Amino acid sequence: MQSVIYALQRLGVEAVLTDDITLLSKADKIIFPGVGEASTTMAYLKERNLDKFIREVKQPLLGICLGMQLLCKHSEENNTDCIGVFDVNVKLFPPKEKVPHIGWNTLQDLKTPLFKGLDNLDVYFVHSYYAEKNNFEIATCNYILPFAAALQKDNFYAVQFHPEKSGDAGSKILENFLNI
């Protein structure tokens, strides 16, 4: 999470790291990074009513990595029911190649203002679970199989990769989100 704050500071944005619903409701934008495991993180969110709050957010929200997965309906990671903004299931990569998927990979089929000014580009991934291809995808990637690398529905944006670790392309994606 600290790497997201540093990336925003490089863009001239002073972000506040909080789980306080009062502060979050006053924010212009919300970034929902995820580190860890689905069921533990969902339990944390539910204890604080953040799962309900997130579902009802009106300002632009960007989910990153586990943050994207938790915005989906269900994750195979410990059979976890998630927030459900996106009617999409999250599955474990089949063990045909090295899992987790770690490293740079190319995004394709880029759509929406999140990718304004960018073509097919390489971004940095670290994940063992993926969102199935679906009607909400705004970017795809292929590792073992094609998967949704980014999603969008209304004011909700989500990326499986780490823009804060994806160099100039990632900075541009964060900048585009801040300009939405």
Cis omega (within 30 of 0) on the bond before 33?
Answer: no
- 82 as an active site residue: the answer is no
48 SS3 class = coil
- 14 as an active site residue: the answer is no
Q: Using CB atoms within 10 A of its CB, is residue 126 exposed (0-12), middle (13-18) or buried (19+)?
A: middle
- Which regions of the chain does DSSP assign to beta strands (E)? 30-34, 61-65, 72-75, 80-81, 86-92, 101-107, 121-127, 129-131, 137-143, 145-153, 156-159
- 65 as an active site residue: the answer is yes
Catalytic residue (choose from 101, 141, 162, 175): 162
Catalytic residue (choose from 65, 72, 82, 141): 65
Question: Distance of CA 28 to CAs 13, 15, 39, 160, Å?
Answer: 12, 11, 28, 22
Catalytic residue (choose from 77, 82, 141, 164): 164
Annotated catalytic sites, by residue?
65, 162, 164
